[in-house]
A = this chain, B = another copy of it.
Amino acid sequence: MRFTIQNVLIATDDGYTTTDVQIIDGKIAAIAPHLDVVGTAINGSHKLLLPGLINAHTHSSEMWQRGIMSPLPLELWLAELYDFASIDTEQIYLSALGTAVETLLSGGTSVVDHLVLIPGQELETIAAAVRAYQEVGIRAFIAPLIQDESLTAGIPSGDSNRTHEPFLRSTAATLEIIETAIKKFHRPDEGVSMLVAPTGIQLCTDALFEGCIELSDRYHICRHSHLLETKAQAKLALEKYGGSAVTHLNSMGFLSDRTSLAHCVWLNDADIAILAATQSTVVHNPLSNLRLGSGIAPILKYRQAGVNVSFGCDGASSNDSQDLLEAIKIGSILHNITDFDYRHWITPRQAIEMASLGGAKGLNMADKIGTLTVGKIADLVLYDLTNLSLLPRTDPIGLLVLGRPNNIVDSAWVNGKQIIANGQVTTINVEQLRQELFNRSQWETKRESPTVAEIEAHYRKVMGL
């Protein structure tokens, strides 16, 4: 597969230049003006070429619940989600398609799916998501969401003497499923990578974390987890470990340069120093953190401490969209209110770098994707700068990050394969997907969650509400 993008705008250190880009065998072969055309010629005129962005944290199947979840903090929201989230593998497939399409149409070429597993059909769940991502052609990082404690264990006990139901599956059985999944689905060269992905300290024992570390080392795969998303989790860590969750994870050896951690809202300066020292990656999910009232992750502090930061949409029931450019916009400007010194604020160019190279680093792929560099894999997105939402012409990256771009992805390639052309996904029938999503759903109003009713009083008490 060979093609040459001609006369395209690309970013330089401090501006833009018009150039040609040659792609041969899935890789960027040359970047220079007036190159010979190899393969298909693509007209890049009035278009901007950027490395594909990375949706570094989501839960695809939450798409079935978007728009309807009550305004609740994570712990109660999760209880409501559990009550209504029963789905089948066909739905897993469809919501993975939907997540891939929305990510692609907002500049993403990779997605990290912290995938909720259907109990008893864990491998089938993973297979359905893999099938969807391979059909679309997006680069997929499947991080099966595992835990070995039951939901209520995720809420601090406070003074109460609560006990919790045992989790439905043993730690060993869960790890066995993950190992089978790694063997079966981990095919980085075909665009599907598996990650070990314990839910987080709030619902996992040390044994589960340790098993994940062992699998990660043995199979050379990356690690992913939620980390200190809410104040309740910080409180829980104190009850569980008598101290900081970050210190505890570090002492177990979970933190590393191939560990990415979603949220990281409630870390202190010592925790931040540990993330920097271990070269861990923070995945910032600003919209979800607002929607659930989790707080503002101290992203400017992370950047100042040298911690790598990337962006995620998070699942579509806590956002409720998979528009990556929206997450990048809000995840940049949100922090301006946390530091009066505007010299620390994130610029649009820095935001794009966080969403591309930052995402790649967290997935141990920085040598392969995340920048427009000769020799790197051609995960590329071509933006149409003549779209009304990007006019008048000013700074293209500024418009892309700070504006509200609509219908602006002209083309996208993953591994050099074109999967969007003329603004349309070429690999799957999006109209059929739309019909399926329509047919398998009903308009609803707010529902009553029995689990929320059950646990709310305890939650309010322990959180001092």
Contacts and interface: CB of A to CB of B under 8 A. Distances in A.
Number of copies: 2
Nearest to A91: B392
Contacts of A334: 290
A180 interface: no
A390 to B, nearest CB: 8
A79 to B, nearest CB: 13
Given A289-B337, A340-B293, A443-B9, A321 B388 contact: no
Contacts of A98: 388, 391
Contacts of A76: 342
Q: How large is the interface on A (under 10, 10 to 19, 20 to 34, 35 or more residues)?
A: 35 or more
B291 A391 contact: no
A395 to B, nearest CB: 4
A324 to B, nearest CB: 10
A75 to B, nearest CB: 10
Interface stretch (A20-28, A154-162, A216-224, A430-438): A430-438
A336 B64 CA distance: 23
Given A342-B72, A441-B392, A333 B287 contact: yes
B438 A395 contact: no
Given A291-B336, A402-B67, A341 B465 contact: yes
A66 to B, nearest CB: 6
Interface in A331-352: 333-334, 336-337, 339-342, 345-348
A204 interface: no
A395 B68 contact: yes
Contacts of A392: 63-64, 66, 437-438, 440-441
A101 interface: yes
B437 A395 contact: no
Contacts of A445: 14-16, 395
Contact of A404 (B326, B342, B389, B463): B326
A398 B67 contact: yes
Given A321-B404, A336-B71, A345-B71, A442 B293 contact: no
A33 interface: no
A330 B291 CA distance: 9
A15 B444 CA distance: 8
A265 to B, nearest CB: 9
A158 to B, nearest CB: 15
A294 B321 CA distance: 26
Interface in A395-438: 395-396, 398-400, 402-404, 406-407, 430, 433-434, 437-438
Residue among A63, A102, A341, A402 with max Cβ neighbours from chain B (10 Å): A402
Given A293-B345, A330-B290, A342-B73, A66 B320 contact: no
Contact of A402 (B63, B72, B320): B320
B440 A399 contact: no
A121 interface: no
Interface of A: 9, 14-16, 63-69, 71-73, 76, 98, 101-102, 231, 287, 289-296, 319-321, 323, 326, 330, 333-334, 336-337, 339-342, 345-348, 385-386, 388-396, 398-400, 402-404, 406-407, 430, 433-434, 437-438, 440-446, 463-465
16 contacts: A16-B445, A67-B348, A68-B395, A68-B398, A71-B336, A76-B342, A98-B388, A287-B333, A290-B334, A291-B402, A292-B336, A293-B339, A385-B443, A388-B433, A391-B441, A392-B440
